[in-house]
C-alpha cells in the first residue's frame, strides 16, 4: 500500500498539488462551520424522565411512580442501564443507551414507552415528562435580573418577569433547549381556607375546589346568524389577574344558606403568595475599592444548550438578543450576564493562534540560519497551517467539535508538526545540493525509492503517537468517551501531518530549476547519502 501510494504520487505530482490546493481552499469555507465548545462532552447517550408528585413521601414516589416507569424502560432496544432516584415529591429516572445511538431516536423510544407507563400510574399522582435534550456540560450561560431599590419590583415580580418575558425571548435562539429559573418567589393565587368557617357552613375542601374549577372556564357557543353576518358566541369565565383576579376569586359562590349566597370570601382568605421554596439565590459583589457589598436576593437563569449544538453560535445568538431583552424589561430592571462560556472558547482559540505565531517566528529564525534557504523555510512554514487545516476539515466533516482539549492538543502537537517537515525539506535540500554538484539527472524511479525511505522514517515517527491516542480495550463509560476524543483529534492531526510532509516533498519536485534533483546517480548512492545525513 505504501509503495503504491508513493508510486502514484510521484507519477501524478501535478494532480497531487492541485488536490492539495483545492482541499486547502475548501477548508476556508467548511472550517467556519466547525462546532466550537469549551469542553469535550463525554456524556453518554441518556434520556431523563422527571415526575413531580407534590405531597408524596419518597417511599410512595418509588412505589407509585418510579418502579412502574423503570419496569417498562428495560424492554427498549440498546439500553445499557436504567437508574433512578426517588425523593419527597420528585421522581427522577435516567435511561442510558449504548454509545452511537442517535439521541433523537432514543428520546422517541422513551416517549413511546412513557405512554404505556402512564397507564400504570394512579390518577392525580403525577405526570411523567421527558427532561430537556442536554448533557452534563450543557450549562453554557448564566444571567441575573437586578432591580433598583426604587423600582418597585420585588423578588416575586422579578421571578414573573424571568418566567414570562426573559425566558420566552431566549427560547427561540438556535441551540437553546431550556432556560432554568432560580430564586425569587413563584406567584400563586392562594385560597387559605378557615377550617372553622368551612365546618360551620357544612362544606368540604372538594366543594371549594369544584367551585374554583367551574368558575374559571370559557365556553364556546358556536355562532348565530344576523342577516348576512355571523356572530360568534362565547362565554368568558376566566378569572382576571392581580387585584382584579383576587376580587373575582372572593366572589365565587359556593352554596345558598338562608337565602344568602356563601362565597369564597366567607370561608377563606384570598391573597397573592408564593409556592413553598427549597432555597434562595443571593448575590454580593465588590466595589471599586474592593469592599464587599451585598445585593441581597436575586433571580437568576441558567441556559441549557441542546446536545450537539454549536456552543459559540448559540451564545452569539443569546448575546444578540441582550439588547432586545433589556428593552422589554421595565424601567429599573437590568439583565446582567454572570457566566459566558464563549470567553473560554475564545481564550482557547487565542492560545492556539499565539502558539502558531511563536512557532512561525522560531522556524523562520532557526531554519533561515541553518538551511540558509528561504524556499525551504517557507515550505516548512506552510506545512503547519495546512496540516492543522486538514485535521479541522475532517473534524467538521465528521461532526466533531473543537474544544479546550482538542485545541490544546493542537498547540502541543505543533512541535511534532514541524519536525517531519524539517526532515523532508532538509533531505530534499541536501539531495539537491549533492546532485547539482555533479550536474546529472535522477530518474522518476530513483526519486520514488528515496522518497519511500524518508516516508518510512516519518511514518515510524508518527506510529507511536497514534498508538498513544488509541483507547484501551477495557475503558468504559466516560473514560472511553474521553479516549475517543483524544483518539479522533490526535489521530487526525498526526496523520494530516504525515500527509502534508509527503506532499511537501512532492511539491519540491515542481519548484524552479534550482530545486529540482536531476541526476543520473544511482538511487542507492543518494539514499545512502541521505541515510548518513540523518
Burial of 46 (0-12, 13-18, 19+ CB in 10 A): buried
List pLDDT tens digits, range 482-529: 445 444 444 455 455 545 544 444 444 444 333 343 333 333 344 433
- Quick: pLDDT tens for 14-68: 887 888 888 888 888 888 888 888 777 778 899 999 999 888 899 999 999 999 9
pLDDT higher than threshold 50 for residue 244: yes
Domain 2-38+344-533 has CATH 1.20.1640.10: yes
Closest to 36 measured CA to CA, from 405, 476, 294: 405
For domain 46-130, the question of CATH label 3.30.70.1430 is answered with yes
Helix runs in 282-339, H state only: 311-320, 322-328
Cα 85 from Cα 66, distance rounded (Å): 8
pLDDT at position 472 over 90: no
323/115 Cα distance (integer angstroms):
42
Examine the pLDDT at 2 and tell me if it is beyond 80.
Answer: no
Instruction: Determine the pLDDT at residue 249.
Output: 92
pLDDT tens digits, residue range 323-353?
Answer: 999 999 999 899 999 999 888 888 877 877 7
**Better-predicted residue by pLDDT, 123 or 487:** 123
Q: pLDDT at position 485, please?
A: 46
What pLDDT was estimated at residue 458?
57
Q: Return the number of other C-beta atoms located less than 10 Å from residue 383's C-beta.
A: 26
* Yes or no: domain 139-186+277-340 corresponds to CATH 2.40.70.10: no
Q: Would you state the cell numbers that stand for residue 531, as one nine-digit string?
A: 541515510
302: part of which helix (H) or strand (E)? Answer: strand 299-305
pLDDT at residue 223, rounded to an integer: 87
pLDDT score recorded for residue 475 = 47
The pLDDT tens digits of the residues spanning 70-89 come to 989 988 999 999 999 999 88
In the numeric block, the cell 445499557 is attached to 80
- Within 8 A by CB and 6+ apart from 195, the residues are none
Domain range summary for the chain, segments of one domain joined by +: 2-38+344-533, 46-130, 139-186+277-340, 190-274
Q: Give me the sign of the Cα torsion angle 130, 132, 135, 139.
A: negative
Domains 2-38+344-533 and 139-186+277-340 share a fold: no
Q: Is pLDDT of 143 > 90? A: yes
Domain covering 190-274 assigned CATH 3.30.2090.10 in the classification:
yes
**pLDDT tens, residue by residue, 155-172:** 999 999 999 999 999 999
Amino acid at each position: 500500500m505504501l509503495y503504491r501510494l508513493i508510486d502514484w504520487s510521484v507519477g501524478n505530482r501535478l494532480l497531487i498539488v492541485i488536490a492539495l490546493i483545492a482541499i486547502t481552499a475548501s477548508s476556508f469555507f467548511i472550517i467556519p462551520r466547525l462546532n466550537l465548545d469549551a469542553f469535550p462532552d463525554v456524556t453518554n447517550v441518556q434520556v431523563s424522565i422527571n415526575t413531580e408528585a407534590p405531597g408524596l413521601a419518597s417511599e410512595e414516589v418509588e412505589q407509585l411512580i418510579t418502579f412502574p416507569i423503570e419496569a417498562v424502560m428495560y424492554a427498549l432496544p440498546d439500553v445499557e442501564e436504567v437508574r433512578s432516584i426517588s425523593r419527597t415529591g420528585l421522581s427522577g429516572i435516567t435511561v442510558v443507551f449504548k454509545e452511537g445511538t442517535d439521541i433523537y431516536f432514543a428520546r422517541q423510544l422513551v416517549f413511546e414507552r412513557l405512554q404505556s407507563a402512564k397507564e400504570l400510574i394512579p390518577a392525580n399522582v403525577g405526570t411523567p415528562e421527558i427532561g430537556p435534550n442536554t448533557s452534563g456540560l450543557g450549562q453554557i450561560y448564566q444571567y441575573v435580573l437586578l432591580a433598583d431599590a426604587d423600582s418597585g419590583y420585588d423578588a416575586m415580580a422579578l421571578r414573573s418577569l424571568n418566567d414570562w418575558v426573559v425566558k420566552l425571548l431566549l427560547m427561540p435562539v438556535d441551540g437553546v433547549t431550556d432556560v432554568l429559573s432560580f430564586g425569587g418567589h413563584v406567584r400563586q393565587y392562594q385560597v387559605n381556607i378557615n377550617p372553622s368557617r368551612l365546618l360551620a357552613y357544612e362544606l368540604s375542601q372538594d366543594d371549594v375546589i369544584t367551585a374554583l374549577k367551574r368558575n374559571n372556564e370559557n365556553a364556546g357557543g358556536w355562532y348565530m346568524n344576523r342577516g348576512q353576518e355571523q356572530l360568534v358566541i362565547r362565554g368568558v369565565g376566566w378569572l382576571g389577574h392581580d387585584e382584579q383576579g383576587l376580587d373575582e376569586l372572593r366572589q365565587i359562590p359556593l352554596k345558598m344558606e338562608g337565602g344568602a349566597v356563601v362565597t369564597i370570601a366567607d370561608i377563606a382568605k384570598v391573597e397573592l403568595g408564593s409556592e413553598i421554596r427549597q432555597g434562595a439565590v443571593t448575590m454580593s459583589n465588590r466595589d471599586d475599592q474592593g469592599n464587599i457589598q451585598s445585593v441581597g436576593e436575586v433571580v437568576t437563569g441558567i441556559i441549557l444548550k441542546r446536545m450537539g449544538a454549536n456552543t459559540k453560535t448559540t451564545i452569539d445568538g443569546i448575546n444578540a438578543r441582550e439588547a432586545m431583552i433589556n428593552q422589554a424589561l421595565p424601567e429599573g430592571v437590568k439583565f446582567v450576564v454572570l457566566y459566558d462560556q464563549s470567553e473560554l472558547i475564545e481564550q482557547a482559540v487565542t492560545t492556539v493562534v499565539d502558539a502558531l505565531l511563536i512557532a512561525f517566528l522560531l522556524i523562520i529564525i532557526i531554519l533561515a540560519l541553518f538551511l540558509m534557504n528561504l524556499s525551504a523555510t517557507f515550505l516548512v512554514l506552510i506545512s503547519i497551517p495546512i496540516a492543522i487545516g486538514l485535521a479541522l476539515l475532517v473534524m467538521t466533516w465528521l461532526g466533531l467539535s473543537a474544544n479546550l482539549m482538542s485545541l490544546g492538543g493542537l498547540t502541543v502537537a505543533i512541535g511534532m508538526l514541524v519536525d517531519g517537515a524539517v526532515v523532508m525539506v532538509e533531505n530534499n535540500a541536501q539531495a539537491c545540493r549533492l546532485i547539482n554538484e555533479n550536474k546529472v539527472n535522477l530518474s522518476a524511479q530513483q526519486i520514488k525509492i528515496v522518497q519511500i525511505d524518508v516516508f518510512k522514517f516519518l511514518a515510524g515517527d508518527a506510529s507511536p503517537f497514534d498508538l498513544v491516542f488509541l483507547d484501551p480495550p477495557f475503558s468504559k463509560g466516560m473514560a472511553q468517551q474521553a479516549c475517543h476524543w483524544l483518539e479522533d483529534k490526535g489521530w487526525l492531526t498526526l496523520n494530516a501531518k504525515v500527509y502534508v510532509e509527503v506532499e511537501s516533498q512532492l511539491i519540491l519536485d515542481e519548484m524552479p530549476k534550482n530545486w529540482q534533483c536531476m541526476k543520473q546517480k544511482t538511487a542507492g548512492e543518494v539514499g545512502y547519502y541521505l541515510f548518513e545525513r540523518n
